[in-house]
Structure 1
Amino acid sequence: NYAESSLNDMHFICDAIENGMKLVVVDPRFSNTAAKAHQWIPIRPGTDAALMLGMMNVIISRNLHDEQFLRDNTTGPYLVRTDNGKFLRPSDVMMGGSADENMVIDAVTNSVRVRGSAPHKLSGRVTVNLVDGTTVECRTAWDLIADYIKEWTPEKASEVTEVDVNVITELAITYATTKPAAIRISQGTNRYWQGHQAFRNAILLGAICGNHGKPGGGVSWAGGTLFKTIAAAPSCWLNPRESEGYQSKSIVGSHIFELLPKDEPWPIRGIWFNHYNFGTQMPNYNTFVNEIVPKLELIVVSEQVMNDATTYADIVLPACSWYEQEGELVASWSNYYFQLRKQCIKPMWESKQDHTIYAEISERMGYGKYWGSVEDSLNEIIDNFTEDKLRNINKKELWETGVTRALYPEDFIPFADQNYPTPSGKLEIYLDYLHELGESLPVYEEPIESNRRPKAKQYPLTMMNVHNVFSVHSQHATLPWILEINPEPRVDISPKDAEARGIKDGDMVKVFNDRGHVVLRARVTEGIKEGCINIYEGYWKRQFIDGHLPSLTHMELNPVHDAVMESNYAPYDVLVEVEKV
């Protein structure tokens, strides 16, 4: 929703519309961005992957897909063993063969060989002799994917998504025949227990139509310097004692609910929270407050204001604002520039910059030598970025003017050379390491708290809690000027859902499930799909009549996420009921 949560990008979309671009927004809500679109497609929450599978069915059945792109630039041609779902490797068929390379079917001889520059087939089925003397049937990854897509007729996709069959068909044809066509998919789609499936299917949809690496095409999320900076963070900064052979230890934050009560992998008795108001943003809030907090002997919070997180703190460290910080390297969500945020005023009263707090505490603990000045730290980070286009930026220009561009050309198009940062160097549309988890293919399954799960009999509404234009998470929710135009939280509910519950616009209502509740006013609106509600996230506890929004959420871990990186927080994958009070 660019118009509310990515304002710096919205004017580019408006410019593109003026230049003839067609904008289609798929969203359960009639968002501010949807209001500017040529077409709004209200979809059942968490079913985006099913929509795209239905679109791909239409595209393939009408022969609108780009076989050449799939053959040359993806792992679609690679052979997969049907006995275990793993890629066929040279080590499977020859003594001393590589365990990393892939096998394909030669386009001329129909023989099985190691992939190379010679033409190979996108589709095919072969029986292969293994080194142990047995045989196994193998199929190309593309054939396995195509078979799965065949199951997803527009009718099936419509039944799942509650999007009309004709809308799905027309959208598929429009996307496949528009050159270039781009898919912008962001975090809202990912805020379901199985939200990664939408991303995988979007990437596959882009590949099927040959849109990756093309000007004005692609499938993107955050393509600017911010994500690249996170991915390229130098290990010497993350672990200052790396050169001494010290190995840093960490646990995945999403596992705190299961690991901390067990004292695994080691006892944790204190947590220092930085840049995180867990009092409004913590999933499974009641469990955290009632089971995790009592186990901690020390809670430290660095904050600018006494927010909900400080309520539970033993020590509050006064962090200064951005205006008071000596310097900060600021990366961008969607462009290739860096900014140097410079100090406007000295820190007021007892507040200190985060860097200063870290350095002074480290000094008292005997580790002061690992901290220099703010400028020293910025130089260390830049000089050791793992990506050369970040590492070699014009620092002189950055210090003098406050802004410089990462070393990407002005006409930079991601993956224009069709080289991908994957083990195969290809766009990996089949992931054999997820076979045991049932997700080697880009698939769809219902959200964990879908309104078609048994739990929906008691709690039939899907609750979303999206960003709003008035506050970045909880930072600005209580500012007097903001309160003048956005005085209180409200729950958006469709007229049909409201009528079924005897609710009128402005009524006080209770939103609840088996984890918690919150009491606030209702906003009855046509701008949200039947079967779901929305409460904007970021409100402080005191702004609700009773209860608290994060008490409704959960932290169910997804093993697929953990196999790739770490489990995602799913704040939109929440079932609730609403009643008038």
Structure 2
Amino acid sequence: MKLNHDTITLSRRRFLSGLGACTALGMLSPSLLVPNTARANAQDARLVLTGSHWGAIRAKVVDGRFTEALPFELDKHPTKMIAGLADHVYATSRIRYPMVRVDWLRKRHLSDTSQRGDNRFVRVSWDEALDLFYQELERVQKEYGPSALLTSSGWQSTGMLHNPGAMLSRAIGLHGTSVGTGGDYSTGAAQVILPRVVGAMEVYEQQTSWPLVLQHSKTIVIWGSDPYKNLQVAWWCPDHDEYAYYEELKQKVASGEIKVISVDPTVSSTHDYLGREHVQHIALNPQTDVPLQLAIAHTLYTENLHDKKFLSEYCVGFEQFLPYLLGSTDGQPKDAQWAATLSGIDAETIRALARQMAANRTQIIAGWCVQRMQHGEQWAWMVVVLAAMLGQIGLPGGGFGFGWHYNGAGMPTRKGVILGGFSGASSTAPIHNGDFKNYSSTIPIARFVDAMLQPGSTINWNGKRVVLPMIKMCVFAGTNPFHRHQEYNKMREGWKTLETVISVDNHWTSTCRFADIVLPATTQFERNDIDQFGNHSNRGLISMKQVVPPQFESRNDFDIFRDLCKRFDREAAFTEGLDEMGWLKRIYQDGVQQGKGKSIPMPDFNTFWNEKEYLEFEGGSLWVRHQSFRDDPDLEPLGTPSGLIEIYSKTIADFHYANCQGHPMWFEKAERSHGGPASEHFPLHLQSCHPDYRLHSQLCESETLRAHYTVAGHEPLYLSPQDAAARGIQDGDVVRVFNQRGQVLAGAVISDRYKPGVIRLHEGAWYDPIWDGEHAGLCRYGNPNVLTLDIGSSDLAQATSAHTALVQIERFTGGAQKTAAFMGPKEMVAQCEYVEKPES
């Protein structure tokens, strides 16, 4: 049998008739070649300017093929990850055609949902795929109403126009209402608690300018943060200029001008860069950060090192917090000796840490990892309490910040414009605006699997009662829930309750494999766009030129959703009468008008696009976080009920949540290493931090980058020499990592950067389960979320608790298990019918 993938189109009717008439199915691996349509546009070698989450690049194109990413000349600290960007276009995991899961195509919403993930799909035409998409939207709205439909997106690509989430929101919103979600997986606990405490989300906001920190700070406490690693990527196109300040910090640390303290169970990349010999390491036991914080606060108070004036003038509630701190409410003073037993840090070291922080100007750099655990709200709250007790909030080089590792935080901000983009909202009313049938219209995003498994149950969420809806259909665009959610075996059970799952993406992620309809979207290198260059720095604007044509049958999200909207007569409302270049001109022109109001001259669009390609803004003003509040708390109050920092929150207290009360507290975890709950059988704490060589799960498909870090074809598992020796594990061994929730394979990397009892599997590793046989259920590649715990952080935030996870490891003796995650699906065609027609 000979098949030509460029010409065969299978109708659903013909497929089903062939499937019924035949006894066997052919399984075809997708071609790795660039299609003829792309090769026909071959040109001589050229460099094309574009942007990405990893920075701006000059894409080298040879004979019509993207061959290499060269750093943009204004990026002086490019990330090593740009070496994988060409793979993003041509990887074996690329989605080439619209595809439909075999059994769903046969039975639609009555299909056997237990077959999801088995990787068996049928290629269909774009028209047929979009017809099926539209028909399912209609069916679900009419049969169940909006409470049965959930949509979700992520940060797949940069660019002001081609935002998959905005396009998904507008298209689905024009058709009908659906379940909304709140929060996110990155900062879920902190972003809910901090507005209650300091009146702002804090986690995504600008931080005090680095020149002021370097000038005024004497002590920098890096608590659960790794900015040197994580600043490689950003929401908009990063300029990476902040790395120059880290070079300066390294010099000041070496000379003794600034003391850096790293509070982390591991030696982070930032710690390692600044110099292990110069950085004080507080290698505490995982999940005991709050006891350590409370003990520091206890020392500050009992040794009279706290700033009474600041607490009196800028805060409320310290008096309500103090009885708990001193132990008069529960009989347990939260002193250094108490914290030493839990944290593994001796009491005198804790007291010395408190004295060091109080002795001079101290900047607390707090990350997001620690708040991704059970009761993560308490840690974020205590960061603020410690900074308030030190009394340096609003001073240059003092106070706290939660976003130093993100978006070039601390960069002086230039005077420039901020472009708008394609909005997910529309003034046109939806066709279907049905009844939610007493279900809640918005749920916390990290509880969406609970809604699948327990529809109609009620949970608390930030002062509200939420009735989880009965979700029957999910639509995902530019996101991978089978990366970001926890406890996959539980998730797979929830997935079985869904009648239809649609994914719009450019690679065969796990979410696509567990979908029913898969639509191939272009990568950002196959379309035109405009991006901000630099994030908090606002350095300029950059044109994102199309590097290569859309590969195979992929389409821009704009064209996909425009074509969908045609099917219910909302195309004009979706496009507003503009095509791709029309939208780019509008977005840019809105920036020109904004610039006129700020006296910022900008060339016209054609000059920018065709001649200049990028613009740099001038200036670079310095700024101190919370300075305006400190200077005048009456005229510049915080967004809390009192307008002040709320060490005690009456609002939260009145919620009457047992697991998040009126002031910060220590709560024991469901499982905790180093003698904590569940550690008898699973003694190792599993970290699942941001990876070194990808952005979450993006670029895991890059064979070029995987060659730098995989071990025996698996995701690396980092562990201490002591833990390895105790289990007879050698560097390079394939190991089984397991607990009561699941099991994965990984390749052992033994490193002295890890405290005994702490191991690490980076998040974003592609999920690759074995379906049957002796090792059924085992993830061959090494995704940590097979093992993580899916419970809400507390009744307040209901956020992810991914870092509350214990495991055990052992050498794997089950033979070689080759990873299959990075290949396309098994394309199923009836052998007896679909033979290529001879050319006429």
TM-score normalised to structure 1 length: 0.77
Q: Which residue of 1 is the match for residue 227 of structure 2?
A: 2
Q: Any residues of structure 2 matched to 1:346-495 within 5 Å, and which?
A: 347-349=549-551, 350-368=553-571, 369-372=573-576, 373=578, 376=583, 396=602, 400=608, 402=614, 410-418=621-629, 419-435=637-653, 436-438=656-658, 439-451=661-673, 452-488=675-711, 489-495=715-721
Q: Which residue of 2 is the match for residue 132 of structure 1?
A: none
**Residue 564 of structure 2: SS of its match in structure 1?**
helix
Q: 1:59 aligns with which of 292, 295, 300?
A: 300
With over 3 angstroms needed to count, the CA separation of the structure-2 counterparts of 1:65 and 1:409, relative to structure 1, is farther
Q: Any residues of structure 2 matched to 1:498-517 within 5 Å, and which?
A: 498-517=724-743
Q: CA deviation at 1:380?
A: 8.1
Using the alignment, how far apart are the partners of 1:65 and 1:382 within structure 2?
52
Q: Any residues of structure 2 matched to 1:165-564 within 5 Å, and which?
A: 165-179=347-361, 181-222=362-403, 237-241=423-427, 249-264=441-456, 265-289=468-492, 291-330=493-532, 334-335=536-537, 339-340=541-542, 342-345=544-547, 347-349=549-551, 350-368=553-571, 369-372=573-576, 373=578, 376=583, 396=602, 400=608, 402=614, 410-418=621-629, 419-435=637-653, 436-438=656-658, 439-451=661-673, 452-488=675-711, 489-542=715-768, 545=780, 548-562=783-797
**Residue 796 of structure 2: SS of its match in structure 1?**
helix
- Which structure ranks higher in relative contact order (CA pairs < 8 Å, sequence separation ≥ 6)? 2
* Letter aligned with residue 449 of structure 1: E
2:263 equivalent to 1:26: yes
- Contact 1:298–1:314 (8 Å) recurs in 2: yes
**Residue 57 of structure 1: SS of its match in structure 2?**
helix
- Contact 2:452–2:495 (8 Å) recurs in 1: no
Using the alignment, how far apart are the partners of 2:419 and 2:684 within structure 1?
41
* Letter aligned with residue 710 of structure 2: P
With over 3 angstroms needed to count, the CA separation of the structure-2 counterparts of 1:254 and 1:498, relative to structure 1, is same
* Letter aligned with residue 198 of structure 1: W
Using the alignment, how far apart are the partners of 1:502 and 1:515 within structure 2?
24
- Contact 1:341–1:402 (8 Å) recurs in 2: yes
With over 3 angstroms needed to count, the CA separation of the structure-2 counterparts of 1:522 and 1:426, relative to structure 1, is same
2:315 equivalent to 1:74: yes
CA displacement 1:402-453 (0-9 Å, x = unmatched): 56779x9812222112132222221122112332224211112233321244
Using the alignment, how far apart are the partners of 2:534 and 2:638 within structure 1?
22
- Give the % identical residues: 22
- Contact 2:736–2:811 (8 Å) recurs in 1: yes
Q: Which residue of 1 is the match for residue 29 of structure 2?
A: none
Please provide the CA RMSD for this pair: 3.7
With over 3 angstroms needed to count, the CA separation of the structure-2 counterparts of 1:305 and 1:201, relative to structure 1, is same
**Residue 547 of structure 2: SS of its match in structure 1?**
coil
* Letter aligned with residue 426 of structure 1: L
CA displacement 1:18-75 (0-9 Å, x = unmatched): 2432221111111221212522221111122221211112222222211111111112
Using the alignment, how far apart are the partners of 1:28 and 1:382 within structure 2?
50
Q: CA deviation at 1:207?
A: 0.8
CA displacement 1:143-202 (0-9 Å, x = unmatched): 4465459922111111111112222122211111122x1111111122211222111111
**Residue 259 of structure 2: SS of its match in structure 1?**
coil
CA displacement 1:266-299 (0-9 Å, x = unmatched): 442221122222333331111222x222222221
Using the alignment, how far apart are the partners of 1:376 and 1:458 within structure 2?
58
Using the alignment, how far apart are the partners of 1:560 and 1:233 within structure 2?
37
2:320 equivalent to 1:141: yes
* Letter aligned with residue 2 of structure 1: P
Using the alignment, how far apart are the partners of 1:331 and 1:183 within structure 2?
28
With over 3 angstroms needed to count, the CA separation of the structure-2 counterparts of 1:518 and 1:382, relative to structure 1, is farther
**Residue 259 of structure 1: SS of its match in structure 2?**
helix
Using the alignment, how far apart are the partners of 2:338 and 2:543 within structure 1?
51
Using the alignment, how far apart are the partners of 1:233 and 1:294 within structure 2?
41
TM-score normalised to structure 2 length: 0.54
* Letter aligned with residue 364 of structure 2: I
* Letter aligned with residue 5 of structure 1: N
Q: CA deviation at 1:204?
A: 0.8
Q: Which residue of 1 is the match for residue 334 of structure 2?
A: 152
* Letter aligned with residue 811 of structure 2: K
Using the alignment, how far apart are the partners of 1:398 and 1:285 within structure 2?
50
Unmatched 5+ stretches in structure 2:
1-225, 233-239, 410-417, 457-467, 630-636, 770-778, 813-840
Q: Which residue of 2 is the match for residue 103 of structure 1?
A: none
**Residue 413 of structure 1: SS of its match in structure 2?**
coil
Q: Which residue of 1 is the match for residue 248 of structure 2?
A: 15
* Letter aligned with residue 189 of structure 1: V
Using the alignment, how far apart are the partners of 2:403 and 2:590 within structure 1?
23
CA displacement 1:188-221 (0-9 Å, x = unmatched): 1222112221111111111111121111222112
Using the alignment, how far apart are the partners of 1:331 and 1:430 within structure 2?
41
Using the alignment, how far apart are the partners of 2:325 and 2:682 within structure 1?
36
Q: Which residue of 1 is the match for residue 461 of structure 2?
A: none
- Contact 1:225–1:333 (8 Å) recurs in 2: yes
Q: Which residue of 1 is the match for residue 74 of structure 2?
A: none
Using the alignment, how far apart are the partners of 2:333 and 2:585 within structure 1?
53
Count of matched residue pairs? 504
Q: Which residue of 1 is the match for residue 809 of structure 2?
A: 578
Q: CA deviation at 1:526?
A: 1.9
**Residue 502 of structure 1: SS of its match in structure 2?**
coil
Using the alignment, how far apart are the partners of 1:214 and 1:15 within structure 2?
21
CA displacement 1:498-524 (0-9 Å, x = unmatched): 232232323332111111001222222
